[in-house]
């Protein structure tokens, strides 16, 4: 079947590993066990003890951007997606979507 053999996604998209599954479900597990939303749990349990207080998960839309959050431009994008149309950023916190200054990241390190 010609249709079945056609590859719509590149190999890195279709090769799902246990690591990928753990990255994408870690937030749900933290929420379930702590009774807190993921962002609050990470801020309280991980970042605050390290002295990091100015960090947050990115907003899901352009109008919800944080004051120092970058604007993700799509003009000339050859990636094939618009990050503002992806999963809501509050759901991708475990594998991306955090906003912090270089100073805050250094405090964490």
pLDDT tens per residue, range 22-37 = 777 888 888 899 999 8
| Residue ranges per structural domain of the chain | 2-108
Which is more confident, 26 or 9? 26
At 55 the pLDDT is 92
Distance of CA 109 to the CA centre of its chain: 19
d(CA 4, CA 25): 29
76: pLDDT strictly greater than 70: no
51: pLDDT strictly greater than 60: yes
């Amino acid at each position: 079947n010609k249709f079945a053999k056609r590859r719509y996604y590149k190999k890195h998209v279709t090769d799902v590993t246990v690591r990928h599954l753990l990255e994408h479900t870690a937030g749900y597990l933290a929420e379930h066990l702590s009774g807190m939303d993921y962002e609050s749990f990470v801020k309280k349990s991980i970042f605050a003890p390290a002295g990091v207080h100015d960090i947050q998960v990115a907003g899901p839309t352009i109008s919800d951007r944080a004051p120092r959050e970058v604007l993700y431009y799509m003009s000339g994008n050859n990636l094939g997606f618009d990050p503002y149309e992806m999963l809501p950023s509050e759901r991708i916190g475990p594998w991306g979507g955090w906003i912090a200054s270089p100073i805050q990241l250094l405090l964490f390190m």
